[in-house]
Amino acid sequence: MSIAPSDPARPVRSRLREEFAARLREELRAEEPESDAGAVPDVRRAYREAACLLSGFDPRTLKLPGEDRPAGGAVLALLDDCTTLGQAGSARWVLKPEAREAALRGLAGPDAARAALEANRAQFPAEPGGPEALCLALLQGNLPGSADRRARWSAEELGDALQAVLWLSEIPGVGGLPDPAELRTALARARLLEPLRHLAAPQFQGRAEELARLRAYVCGSGAGRDSAPTGSGAPPAFVPPLVIHGPGGMGKSTLMAKFLLDGLAGSADGSVAAFPFAYIDFGRPTLSIREPVTLIAEMARQLAVQYPEFGTELEALADECQRAAATQREEQERVTQLHQLATTRVLGSDSSEEFQRVATARETGLVRRVAEVLGRAVAAAGRPGAPFVLAVDTFEEAQYRGSPVLGRMWAICTALQSGYPHFRMLIAGRAPVGHPSYKVAPSEIELRELDRPAAVAMLRSLGVDDPEVAGALAERVGGHPLSLRLAARAAAVAGSGSERTGELIRDLPERRREVFRRVDEMLVQGILYDRILSHIADEDVRRLAHPGLVLRVITPGIVQEVLAGPCGLEVADERAARRLFDELRRLDMVEPIGPETVRYRPDVRTIMLRLPGGDRTEVMRRIERRAVAYYAAREGVAARAEEIYHRLRLDEDPRAVEERWLPGVERFLADAQKEVPPRAAGLLTARLGGNAPDRVTADADQEDWERIAAREAEGLLAQGFAEAALSRLGQRRPWTPCSPLHVLCAQALNRLGRCDEARQATAEAIGQTERAGCAERRLELLLLGARLAEEAGDLPDADRQLRVAEDVAVGLEQDLEAMGARLARARLPATGGTAFSGAQAGRQLATQLRDLPDEVLADQPVLVRAVAAQIYGQDPGALTHALDVVGLPTDDATLDTLGTAMRRATRRQPALLGAVLGILDEAARPAGRPAWAAPVMPGPPEPEPVPVPPPTRAGLPPGPPPAPSAAAPAGPPAPARREEAGGGAADGVGAVSRARRVPAPAASPSARPSGIAGILRLARDRGTLDTLAHRLLAVPDHSGEITAGVAAAMGVGTHARTTPRSGHRGPDEGSGPPGPERR
């Protein structure tokens, strides 16, 4: 789609047009006779009624009923009643909603509506469709309204029908219309099926064996696996997902769509599938493969469409999933920030493990609730035991060794099947990748070429009418769907003459044994494209077309400076370059991507770039060298990404290419791994993530291999698979001195209980990094060494290593790195000599927090919060300063921690109740309400949340409790959708039960929560949580419990142990909220 160029003068011209239009209206209206206020002149009302059943119209040709020719009066009459759609010169006017509604209600009846439509048939959309024709058909009684007919309508047709019914229902005297509610239900179902119908094109042929295997997997015992009960009362055996894989273009998504649509065809009424299903395409921007909870949300929404009687429950669950996704994004951002500094990376590893555990618990809890509702819905529909199919498309990004997403998806699959035993999961992606969480290997279907009858049938469906030609092409081309499409296109270009078709067939090589099949397929596709390109009429364009495939972007400037010379063309000036560009962009294998910018279709480039270039190879290399020079001379991230792309295509040294890297180029290089040599693909995989095939890891530079292995090992450690991580790390040695694998190896050894080995490995790596001058890695290893020493009870050694780390950071003038080292030293248990050291570190942190510029601190909010939570006892202003600079976290764990502290403080010190109630009342009060209106009232008591301790590692205390629990909503509740019931505890402050909540009716705009949890969430949604915390810090609480609670909330997710003011007990000593536990 073409995008208009940026024009800084456009806003000015737009304002001038608006001012001119306003003055024009005043001038034109000045001569109109005055009328009563609110009354619409007759002419204006008549034109409104003429246009009220039109989705858009040209005011110059709008006619009143009875007019032979348009008078043109609509331009003036409807000037204030319309908006415009489209570009200048072809813009159409659209009545504003209020004007349309008044006109519809003002019509005399069905006859007047029909007359208005018949007078303006010329205004109906040129293409079939649109609500106008349906309105006229309904008014004339010509439209069949049966449910069976509507079940076969497309989403567009149903949308038009619903719009027509809604308009006509406003007209007095119009009756006998279809039920809008039924149309909405049908429209939702049609939109659900639309992507499947788009994938399963009419040209689908063959695949009978694969479809039969899918039916056996879904409706039988699971692709041949015995899922029957293993004994009396035993649950069914777990049925793993089935993965459909094969080369690109082989039809994986199409097969899956065809199978689901066949299930629809087998239903009783054709409106809903014979079994419930959800189709999840992670290629959609609204879904994130890195956030499996969004899959659960989409699944619940699609089930709500299929079972509207349970739609309210399922939509509420979908909303809860979206809130959980928001919470998880904040938790993930906390982990990411901790990994940014060498001195907080050890904390980041702890947080990463906690995040994966909590996210998995949250997601499995949510999916079990979806399964429970689904079970009731299926039973109510009279289909107990019907399989539920979850079809996941575009799953390749998650399919790499050690992927945390794979682990969480497996947990979701297991939980869903435990709650709904007839659950089956289909995945379209690459071949299954092993993962330690797999108890049973996934089933798989490998898609191969279509058999000959199916290939012939596909060619016939694509326009090759002669059966002999179709058979001969199938014999030479084979059964790859993409090759067949190319063959059909080449046959169409060759024309219908038998001589030309015969020449095309003779040019194609004969098929050979299976060992040569892949080579033959590439050769055939190259020949077919050459045949298509050879029919380009303009010789100059033909010379550019094939070599130009090496470029991802083509503009007139690139034609002139990059492409023309190597192709042997003289392009004297910009005018000549534009002529060639205009001819190029007319090719059907080219598509626009911006103003004066086109690209070859991705499927075309993917095939052609993997073919041997023959005589064109040197031409293409000259083009790429010119492209490097062209983009290197230009500014901007996009230009730098293209420069890097072509350097990688030329297989330049990855380390030299990496020097050209800029933040932000990643999004432009995301799909480039398959288009570059293996060594270059290693750099891209190391930088961008994703799957690393063996051919890539084998040829990758050592540094790139180490980064790839580090990402996989980090994922495995975060999921608790230390043995698998250690095995992965040992596959390629020796490591470089600055390798991230030194840290990961020590962590894996420590997790396995091999603590002495971990300390020894860390000490050796520290020496290597010092000799190699790897300051950042040395800092990270020193912090890890201190952690290991602390866990071993060697506090003096831990303190020593932290002091060395601090000195290194200060010497590098890295203030935030020094802050991270001091934070670790301040957190050491205060025993013996470390007590003085910890207090000293606390004073240094307080000074740093005051002296560093706010903009520097704002770059590391997680570190700043952790420091403030640690030293607030030594520096009473630390929390206030942190609130001003970075604010509180806003995830549910923070709100739960703060709410618990407020409840405990007011229960133990009733004198604080009035001040706390006043703060909560101010936070909950709607804007503009006086302080005395609807104060917070006490209510029934709320049970305290019960922490669920996670599994512990040998020698380490348990981590913090999950936040929030899987059964609790995991994000801010939408005030209009859900409200928390319950009131105050014994302290008199409203609170909410942690039991499962039932969705409440939508609240009125003036409604407000009365419990602490609800009020805190409301404050978060309003952006006033920090203000509330500031007011809590001002409460005259001499025990320090409320302040300790704010500190604990500030340190959530950083494994902080808050330090209270001198003379007061800490939160872990029985006073105030329990702070998140420290490892």
Please compute, for residue 998, the number of CA atoms within 13 A of its CA located in the half-sphere on the CB side: 2
CATH code for the domain in which residue 711 is found = 1.25.40.10
Residues in contact with 99: Cβ distance below 8 Å, sequence separation at least 6, in sequence order: 48, 52, 78, 81, 82
- Does 2 reside within a domain? no
Q: How far apart are CA 256 and CA 211, in angstroms?
A: 9
User: pLDDT at position 957, please?
Assistant: 33
Q: How far apart are CA 976 and CA 334, in angstroms?
A: 29
- The answer to whether the CB of 370 falls within 8 A of the CB of 1072 is no
What average pLDDT score do residues 1019-1047 get? 93
Q: Is 283 exposed, middle or buried (0-12, 13-18, 19+ CB in 10 A)?
A: middle
Q: What is the DSSP string of 986-1052?
A: TTS-B---SSPPPPPPPPPTT----SHHHHHHHHHHHT-HHHHHHHHHTS--TT-HHHHHHHHHHTT
Same domain, 769 and 860: no
> What are the tens digits of pLDDT across the range 603-618?
777 767 766 555 567 8
Question: What is the DSSP code (8-state) at residue 984?
Answer: B
Residues in contact with 632: Cβ distance below 8 Å, sequence separation at least 6, in sequence order: 643, 660
Q: Is the pLDDT of residue 830 over 90?
A: no
Same domain, 59 and 110: yes
Same domain, 687 and 699: no
pLDDT band at 105 (very low <50, low <70, confident <90, very high): very high
Q: Is the pLDDT of residue 1032 over 80?
A: yes
Mean pLDDT lowest for which of 135-139, 610-614, 663-667?
Answer: 610-614
In this structure, what are the phi and psi dihedrals at residue 503, rounded to the nearest 5 degrees?
A: -65, -40
Q: How far apart are CA 148 and CA 540, in angstroms?
A: 56
Residue that is written with structure tokens 């409301």 in the block: 1018
Same domain, 142 and 205: no
Same domain, 68 and 155: yes
Same domain, 655 and 595: yes
Among candidate residues 505, 533, 561, the one where a domain is terminated:
533
Q: How far apart are CA 552 and CA 340, in angstroms?
A: 33
Mean pLDDT lowest for which of 95-104, 281-290, 730-739, 769-778?
Answer: 281-290
pLDDT band at 554 (very low <50, low <70, confident <90, very high): very high
Closest CA to 962 of 355, 364, 405: 355
- Does 769 reside within a domain? yes
> What are the tens digits of pLDDT across the range 225-269?
444 444 445 566 789 999 998 877 788 888 999 999 888 765 545
Q: Is the pLDDT of residue 931 over 80?
A: no
- β-strands 82-85, 92-95: how paired? antiparallel
pLDDT band at 833 (very low <50, low <70, confident <90, very high): confident
- Tell me the H-state helices in 480-610: 481-494, 498-507, 517-534, 539-545, 556-558, 574-584, 602-609
Is residue 261 within a helix (H) or strand (E), and if so which, with residue range? helix 252-265
**In this predicted model, which residue has the larger pLDDT, 969 or 300?**
300
User: Alpha carbon 429 to chain centroid distance?
Assistant: 18
Among candidate residues 651, 666, 691, the one where a domain is terminated:
691
Closest CA to 292 of 390, 429, 420, 189: 390
What average pLDDT score do residues 940-949 get? 38
User: pLDDT at position 524, please?
Assistant: 65
- The answer to whether the CB of 428 falls within 8 A of the CB of 395 is yes
User: pLDDT at position 229, please?
Assistant: 41
What average pLDDT score do residues 950-964 get? 35
Q: How far apart are CA 665 and CA 688, in angstroms?
A: 10
Q: How far apart are CA 204 and CA 460, in angstroms?
A: 11
Q: Is the pLDDT of residue 935 over 90?
A: no
- Does 801 reside within a domain? no
Same domain, 304 and 428: yes
Q: Is the pLDDT of residue 683 over 60?
A: yes
Q: How far apart are CA 248 and CA 948, in angstroms?
A: 46
Q: Is the pLDDT of residue 1062 over 60?
A: no
Radius of gyration of the chain (CA): 34
Closest CA to 95 of 125, 50, 39: 50
SS3 463: coil
Same domain, 627 and 728: no
User: pLDDT at position 1003, please?
Assistant: 40
- The answer to whether the CB of 787 falls within 8 A of the CB of 759 is no
Same domain, 365 and 503: no
Q: Is the pLDDT of residue 593 over 50?
A: yes
What average pLDDT score do residues 348-376 get? 94
- Does 612 reside within a domain? yes
> What are the tens digits of pLDDT across the range 556-590?
999 999 999 999 998 889 999 999 999 888 887 78
The tokens describing 723, both together, are: 């043995």
User: pLDDT at position 285, please?
Assistant: 76
Q: Is 105 exposed, middle or buried (0-12, 13-18, 19+ CB in 10 A)?
A: exposed
Distance set, CA 986 to CA 547, 654, 981, 1037 (Å): 79, 66, 16, 19
CATH code for the domain in which residue 420 is found = 3.40.50
Instruction: Please give the model's pTM, rounded to 2 decimal places.
Output: 0.79
The amino acid sitting at 531 is: R
- Does 32 reside within a domain? no
In degrees, rounded to 5, the angle at the alpha carbon of residue 618 between the alpha carbons of residues 617 and 619 is 90
- The answer to whether the CB of 268 falls within 8 A of the CB of 454 is no
Question: Is the bond preceding 943 in cis, omega lying within 30 degrees of 0?
Answer: no
Q: How many domains does one find in the chain?
A: 7
Q: What is the DSSP string of 923-981?
A: HHSPTT--TTSS-----S--PPP---PPPPPTTS---PPPSS-TTS--SPPPTTT----
Question: What average pLDDT does the structure give for the chain?
Answer: 81
Q: How far apart are CA 8 and CA 494, in angstroms?
A: 49
Distance set, CA 342 to CA 62, 346, 740, 820 (Å): 70, 8, 11, 8
Residues in contact with 932: Cβ distance below 8 Å, sequence separation at least 6, in sequence order: none
The tokens describing 880, both together, are: 């206030």
- Does 26 reside within a domain? no
Question: What is the DSSP code (8-state) at residue 732?
Answer: S
pLDDT band at 999 (very low <50, low <70, confident <90, very high): very low
Closest CA to 401 of 434, 360, 444: 434
> What are the tens digits of pLDDT across the range 185-197?
889 998 998 888 8
Q: What is the DSSP string of 657-716?
A: HHTT--TTGGGGSTT-GGGS-HHHHHHHHHHH-S---HHHHHHS-HHHHHHHHHHHHHHH
Residue 388's beta-bridge partner residues? 423
- Does 189 reside within a domain? no
> What are the tens digits of pLDDT across the range 11-37?
545 555 556 666 655 665 555 555 444
**Structural domain of residue 153, as residue ranges?**
43-178
| pLDDT over 70, % of the chain | 77
Sheet holding 443-446, edge to edge: 277-281, 388-393, 423-428, 242-245, 443-446
Q: Please report, to the nearest 10 degrees, the dihedral formed by the alpha carbons of residues 334, 335, 336, 340 taken in order.
A: 100
- Does 797 reside within a domain? no
Closest CA to 340 of 859, 827, 718: 859
Q: How far apart are CA 553 and CA 64, in angstroms?
A: 51
The amino acid sitting at 775 is: A
Same domain, 324 and 298: yes
Same domain, 905 and 944: yes
What average pLDDT score do residues 649-660 get? 95
Same domain, 621 and 686: yes
pLDDT band at 549 (very low <50, low <70, confident <90, very high): confident
- The answer to whether the CB of 430 falls within 8 A of the CB of 317 is no
Q: How far apart are CA 464 and CA 496, in angstroms?
A: 9
User: pLDDT at position 32, please?
Assistant: 52
Q: Is 952 exposed, middle or buried (0-12, 13-18, 19+ CB in 10 A)?
A: exposed
User: pLDDT at position 695, please?
Assistant: 82
User: pLDDT at position 1059, please?
Assistant: 45
